[in-house]
A and B are shown apart, each in its own frame.
Chain A
């Protein structure tokens, strides 16, 4: 898995390329924690390049959501593939994360 950061209209965007699993999700956790510790009001996680996400990936997103709650921050998901969305739905977690078709939509919503 490859992770990179960028800022779009002042909003931090985490781009993920590859599988998010037990081996790679600690890296994502670290990246997201960096933003939540700075109390970023909105973080966009770009899932366009993610074909597979396991429970640890889901849990990592949930943990970022929890960390953003005290300052009313939100973690937005952009372009999740069908199977990633399916995993979120199976876990009944879609209500936690605003989901957008693109990074631009997530940033400008």
Chain B
């Protein structure tokens, strides 16, 4: 079942120019004895976008949380900017955290703060910049995501797409070198999905930001990726450029990419027999 495409010559020219800023070597993680991530390795360079895809429960969110230092891998190591995040002291880890931004699936905006204050939050908390300078930085960030002029709206007054864009503006506030996106297009209509995908591409190409995008939205995935990695039951089952993934005849990957119900990916994931389960306990 396992197919591994070689990165080889397919890494984009842009990516070759960048310095490696994210690296995971053979990371594995189990919860309550159940393996959710097994022997995953990946690498992302400055200006490059890696899409980690897979169906729900494939381990992609756990992978993202380990890369961000929110979970610790049981085995293997994660290097951000060449530093092993598991062995860093808290102060040094906080220093690393300032160098990456996170776009949460929900936007994770504070509902009691308006758009301006949400974007200004990391600048107020983590820098000594004065009020006037923060105001300008926030306007520059909102301009980048196309929301300048909406500073004084409250989160409840925003559409789903606007909330995501405010989340991106906030992630950009500290000029991160890496952005981790957790399902950035989930729940959006096709037009807004295209808008967010374009924004991710622009941030990567114009600002040279390295991006890790976790998604099961195939259209967005192919649109933003320089590299793709597919997880299935916690294991890497495919990796390569969008062209390589699109061109594969590996059934498991094809079923996922084409969104088909029929194929090697089973509908049911239970590993025990139904009767045994019903009668056993």
Contacts and interface: CB of A to CB of B under 8 A. Distances in A.
27 contacts: A21-B175, A22-B123, A22-B127, A22-B129, A22-B174, A22-B175, A23-B128, A25-B129, A25-B133, A26-B129, A26-B130, A29-B129, A29-B130, A54-B175, A55-B137, A55-B140, A55-B175, A56-B175, A58-B136, A58-B140, A59-B129, A59-B133, A59-B134, A59-B136, A90-B206, A90-B207, A91-B143
Given A29-B130, A56-B137, 7 more contacts: A22-B123, A22-B174, A23-B128, A29-B133, A54-B175, A56-B123, A63-B133
A56 B127 contact: yes
Contacts of B133: 25-26, 29, 56, 59-60, 63
B127 A23 contact: yes
A60 B143 CA distance: 17
B141 interface: yes
Nearest to A54: B175
Contacts of B130: 26, 29
B175 to A, nearest CB: 4
A interface bracket (residues with beta carbon within 8 Å of B): 10 to 19
A26 B141 CA distance: 19
A14 to B, nearest CB: 16
B132 interface: yes
A43 B266 CA distance: 69
Nearest to A65: B136
Nearest to B127: A22
Contact of B132 (A54, A63, A90): A63
Interface string B56-88: 000000000000000000000000000000000
Contacts of B123: 22, 56
A21 B137 CA distance: 12
Contacts of A63: 132-133, 136
A43 to B, nearest CB: 16
A56 B132 CA distance: 11
A22 B124 CA distance: 11
Nearest to A86: B206
* Majority secondary structure of chain A interface residues (helix, strand, loop or mixed): helix
B113 to A, nearest CB: 20
A81 B194 CA distance: 34
B87 to A, nearest CB: 24
Contacts of B128: 23, 26
Interface string A53-71: 0111011101100100000
Interface string B114-129: 0000000001001111
Contact of A59 (B140, B174, B206): B140
A55 to B, nearest CB: 5
